[in-house]
């Protein structure tokens, strides 16, 4: 995905001697006009499982022992095609690299269902790439303030357009109560469809229990749920620059922006003036900020606090990416932020610029 599914495991290639047909997954076919492509690769999630060479006539064949259905991607050059291989079924795949989207499959109803969903996914990827390219072009030679304003506009459009894709994936999953439906949900972006991913994981909690791919998805959804809207924020216990112990729970009774940042993070430093402005505007209305730095140099950390005029409480264990807080809050990039209500529950995530200002205006007034 860009989604949240982890990696399943496969048995290694073994001789098929002595195996019944029902315990083997098969896919064969041919690729027309392959160009420089010499091999067909098979992935489960992001991990390559195996590759097979194109033979005479650009034909290929892949077989493996398996007792469970497998959700894979068949890769031809830069093109990836989702397929579901059920033991005993013989899937035939044919594609022409002059028209890579017009592929054909036979022998697998679930793979045919995935082909039905493919145009939705391609459209989502096209919109996503187009918006990113347009944003990059629009921000050339712009000031940090202008870039932030444009980022808000593009992010709003991005979320609106991905909301359509989210609904398409949900509708498809509701009409396909099988691995094809699971695949559609697994392609959702957790930044946009967190609630839908969690709800689907709860719905299939007792289904597909023998499939590692789905099991990993469920585990990831559980981790996502612990930091979802409405959940209690994990405790933070750390130290200020003057070595004073501080806990996140000390701030209960106020709206708190938990801001993960660092002195070396350019986007964080660009956002700091906006947070300073909002802190002074709303601090008398029950709002405050807790800065959590991923620095490992105390001097750089304290200079950034002074230079950016960050008057709120700042803490750090100076362990950078080795900090336990990285695990607790699943920090993969900064800036990352969580907005908490007076009870310590998460009410919003990763709001910046005008988006944060609008949310605070609506919430605190």
- Check residue 143 and give its pLDDT: 78
User: How many residues are recorded in the chain?
Assistant: 365
> Cβ–Cβ contacts within 10 Å for residue 21, how many?
11
- Check residue 3 and give its pLDDT: 54
Q: What is the mean pLDDT of each run of 10 residues along the chain (365 residues)?
A: 39 34 87 95 86 94 88 93 93 96 94 95 90 88 74 79 92 96 94 92 90 87 93 96 96 97 92 96 97 96 97 96 89 93 96 92 92
Q: Which residues pair with 260 in a beta bridge?
A: 292, 336
Q: Write out the two tokens for 84.
A: 């579901």
Angle CA 320–322–327, to nearest 5: 110
The DSSP string of 275-296 is HHHHHHHHGGGTEEEEEEE--S
- Check residue 325 and give its pLDDT: 86
**Inter-residue contact 341 to 226 (CB < 8 Å):** no
- Check residue 89 and give its pLDDT: 92
pTM for this prediction: 0.76
Using a 10 angstrom Cβ sphere, with 0-12 exposed, 13-18 middle and 19 or more buried, the burial of residue 71 is buried
- Check residue 10 and give its pLDDT: 29
- Check residue 148 and give its pLDDT: 66
Q: 105 φ, ψ to 5°?
A: -135, 145
- Check residue 31 and give its pLDDT: 96
Q: Write out the two tokens for 172.
A: 């498809």
**Inter-residue contact 77 to 26 (CB < 8 Å):** no
- Check residue 145 and give its pLDDT: 66
Domains of the chain: 21-107 (2.60.40.10), 114-226 (no CATH), 237-364 (3.40.30.10)
- Check residue 46 and give its pLDDT: 78
The DSSP string of 211-252 is -HHHHHHHHHHHHHHHTSTTSBPPP-EEE-TT--EEEGGGGT
User: Would you put residue 182 in left (φ > 0), alpha (ψ -120 to 50) or beta?
Assistant: alpha
């Amino acid at each position: 995905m860009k989604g949240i599914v982890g990696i399943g495991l496969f048995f290694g290639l073994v001789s098929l001697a002595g195996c019944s047909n029902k315990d083997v997954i098969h896919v064969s076919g041919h690729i027309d006009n392959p160009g420089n492509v010499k091999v067909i690769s098979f992935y489960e999630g992001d991990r390559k499982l195996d590759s097979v060479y194109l033979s005479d006539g650009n034909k290929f064949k892949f077989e493996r022992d398996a007792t469970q259905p497998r959700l894979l991607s068949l890769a031809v050059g830069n093109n990836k095609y989702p397929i579901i291989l059920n033991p005993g079924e013989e899937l035939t795949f044919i594609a022409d690299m002059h028209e890579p989207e017009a592929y054909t499959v036979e022998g697998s109803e679930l793979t045919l269902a995935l082909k039905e969903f493919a145009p939705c996914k391609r459209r989502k990827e096209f919109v996503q790439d187009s918006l990113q390219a347009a944003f990059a072009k629009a921000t050339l030679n712009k000031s940090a303030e202008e870039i932030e304003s444009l980022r808000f506009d593009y992010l709003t459009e991005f979320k609106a357009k991905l909301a359509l894709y989210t609904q398409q994936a949900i509708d498809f999953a509701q009409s396909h109560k099988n691995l094809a439906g699971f695949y559609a949900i697994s392609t959702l972006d957790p930044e946009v469809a967190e609630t839908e991913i969690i709800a689907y994981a709860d719905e299939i909690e007792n289904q597909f229990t023998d499939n590692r791919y789905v099991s990993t998805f469920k585990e990831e959804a559980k981790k996502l749920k612990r930091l979802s809207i409405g959940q209690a924020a994990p405790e933070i216990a750390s130290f200020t620059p003057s070595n004073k112990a501080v806990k996140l729970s000390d701030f209960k009774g106020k709206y708190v922006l938990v801001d993960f940042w660092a002195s070396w993070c350019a986007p964080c430093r660009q956002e700091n003036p906006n947070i300073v402005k909002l802190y002074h505007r709303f601090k008398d209305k029950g709002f405050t900020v807790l800065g959590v730095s991923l620095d490992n140099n105390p001097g750089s950390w304290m200079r950034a606090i002074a230079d950016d005029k960050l008057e709120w409480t700042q803490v750090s264990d100076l362990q950078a990416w080795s900090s336990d807080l990285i695990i607790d809050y699943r920090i993969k990039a900064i800036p990352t932020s969580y907005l908490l209500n007076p009870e310590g529950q998460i009410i919003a995530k990763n709001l910046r610029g005008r988006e944060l200002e609008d949310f605070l205006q609506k919430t605190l007034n």
